[in-house]
């Protein structure tokens, strides 16, 4: 999933650098160090799930731009993510143009 997202972000010119984390704890630490313009994060991750990591990132920066990644059967979890501070979401399997549109919209939002 991370490889596909990275390819979409780079090929559409949405970002120039991509940092990856293999679990929720590493994602929060990476955010703390790098302060990226945007974060894409799966709902399901080891060590800390996406909602826990999202809440930790929002505590670091309430204006963080986080887009959650979920599967069709987990769409109900998106409501929790939006309430916790996620800006939007994308559904797996990815529609490349939809992912690019959502990420672009979130990056441009103030």
Say how many CA atoms lie within 13 Å of 77 toward its Cβ.
19
CATH number, residue 14: 3.40.50.2300
CA gap 6, 9 in Å, rounded: 5
Indicate the pLDDT class of residue 110, thresholds 50, 70 and 90: confident
- Residue 2's SS3 state is helix
- Number of CB atoms found within 10 A of residue 96's CB: 13
User: Which of these, 109, 105, 107, 77, lies nearest to 91 by C-alpha position?
Assistant: 77
Domain count, the chain: 1
3-state SS assignment for residue 3: helix
Report pLDDT digits (tens) over 28-82: 999 999 999 999 999 999 999 999 999 999 999 999 999 999 987 777 888 899 9
Unique residue bearing structure tokens 């999202």: 54
Range of the domain at 86: 2-108
pTM for this predicted structure: 0.91
Angle CA 103–72–104, to nearest 5: 5
């Amino acid at each position: 999933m991370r490889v596909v997202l990275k390819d979409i972000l780079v090929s559409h010119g949405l970002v120039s650098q991509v940092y990856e984390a293999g679990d929720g704890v590493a994602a929060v630490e990476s955010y703390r160090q790098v302060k990226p313009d945007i974060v894409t994060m799966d709902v399901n991750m080891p060590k800390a799930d996406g909602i826990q990591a999202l809440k930790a990132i929002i505590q670091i920066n309430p204006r963080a731009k986080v887009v959650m990644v979920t599967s069709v059967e987990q769409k109900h979890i998106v409501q929790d993510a939006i309430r916790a501070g996620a800006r939007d979401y994308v559904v797996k399997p990815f529609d490349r143009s939809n992912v690019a549109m959502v990420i672009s919209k979130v990056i441009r939002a103030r």
